[in-house]
Structures are given as structure tokens and as C-alpha cells.
Amino acid sequence: MSLFISFEGGDGSGKSTQAQALSERLRTAGVAVTHVREPGSTALGSRVREWLKSGIPGEDPISHRAELLLFAAARAELVAKVIRPTLARPDAVVVTDRYADSTVAYQGYGRGIPLGTVQAANDVATDGMMPGLTLLLDCPPKDGLARARALQIKLPLAQAGGHQPTAREEEGTRFEEEPMEFHERVRRGYLAIARQEHNRIVVIDAGRPVEEVAAAVWETVEPRLGNRLSGSSQGDAGGRNSERGAKS
């Protein structure tokens, strides 16, 4: 049976780092995993990502409802072209860096678009395809934003090439630049979703060292992998990855 896992969290929470680390650990263990990010991982999604992260050159700021629909368009394309076909294969695992909960948290709670409107857009975009497990990496926004800005100083955007989800590409920081009140609303939104969807969403303290967060992620995911892990590969993966860390 296939497994769909999403990572969620505010800016600088480390979700991209942990999604990448989990995907690498699964591959090392011999698990067939597809790692995607939102928006992105399709031609349309990559173009939408540029607009959403940096704005559209020469245009006024994107309106909130247009922003919602851009996320929905990128998600619909990702579901149709990558997620659904992949999950149709037995024992496939999809790990996504952000999904529908991000839209509820950011455009609903953060932007103030009515939650019913956000849910309607999500319903169209996901076509009923929701994760079986969502890992919400939670930390105070001031800590997450400080972490993100420290990384930006340490790794200038001009040097952040490639397409790895953990790399800060030259794509802008439009959401990070929102006022702290916005990020606080987003966090409250995420925690509200987690209370409502407690059977799907596991909240993980993202304020801990990256290795401890990775261990908590693995403890949550491992029981859901079933017979995908053999005894030997499970042990080897744990040994090789116990000290794996990455920047967020």
C-alpha cells in the first residue's frame, strides 16, 4: 500500500531540511520514495513558485485571492502529474515539502481569506488526495525567522544554486518579509488544524537540534512503513543516518 507524507511548518521551521533528510534515509533503506515540494516539482509549479516567492516584475503585489488560486493551480498540476500517478504504484512513498495545510494556514489564517473559500480551492486542487501522515514542525515564528535570516547571511542567494529543497535559491523571501503578526497567525492556524486533524497530523517540536528533530520524524514514520524495511536495511539506515543533519 502506498504512503503519502507531508511536512508543514512556518518559515524557518526546518521542514525542508527534514523532508530532504527523511527522503534520503528512506532511499538508503531501499524504499522507493518520490520527494516533491510545493509549489514546484512540475514546469507550471516552478513558474508559479517564482511569482509567489518574488512577486511579478513590474506588477503591483499579488492580491490575496490570486495568491490562493496560484497555489491551487500549482497543487492541482502536482497532484495530476506526479502525486496521484506515483501513489498508484504499490509500496510507493511520496514525501512533500508543504501541501494543502499550508494554504489553510497562510492564506486562511494568515491572509484572512474565509476558511470556506480556502477549503473550496483546496478541494479542487487536491481532488481528494490528502496525506495519510502530516508532520508539523512547530516553533515560535521569531525563532524560525531568525534561523532563516541567519542562513541567508551564511549562504548568499547568489551561491545557492541547484534544485535541492534545502538550498535557498535566488527566488525571493516575500513571505518571510511579512510582519511578525502574520507569522503568529500562521502558527495559530497550523496548531488549530492539528487539533482538528489529530489522527493525521503529528506536531514535532522544531526548536530542538536538527538531529533530534530528525530522530522524532523517524520514530513517527518508521511504524507506518510496514514491510518496506528489511531488518538489515533498517539497521544500516539508522546507523548511517543517526548523525545526519542539514541546514534549514
| 184-204 residue pLDDT tens | 999 999 999 999 999 999 999
pLDDT (0 to 100) of residue 151 = 65
Residue 70 in domain = yes
pLDDT (0 to 100) of residue 203 = 98
Q: Domain count of the chain?
A: 1
pLDDT (0 to 100) of residue 4 = 98
> pLDDT band for position 126 (50/70/90)?
very high
* CATH classification at residue 137: 3.40.50.300
Residue 210 in domain = yes
Residue 247 in domain = no
Task: Look up the domain containing 138 and give its range.
Answer: 3-241
Q: What is the 3-state secondary structure (H, E, C) of the chain?
A: CCEEEEEEECCCCCHHHHHHHHHHHHHHCCCCEEEEECCCCCHHHHHHHHHHHHCCCCCCCCCHHHHHHHHHHHHHHHHHHHHHHHHCCCCCEEEEECCHHHHHHHHHHHCCCCHHHHHHHHHHHHCCCCCCEEEEEECCHHHHHHHHHHHHHHCCHHHCCCCCCCCCCCCCCCCCCCCHHHHHHHHHHHHHHHHHCCCCEEEEECCCCHHHHHHHHHHHHHHHCHHHCCHHHHHHHHHHHCCCCCCC
Residue 140 in domain = yes
Residue 248 in domain = no
> pLDDT band for position 161 (50/70/90)?
very low
Residue 246 in domain = no
Residue 169 in domain = yes
Q: Which of 149-158, 175-184, 222-231 has the highest mean pLDDT?
A: 175-184
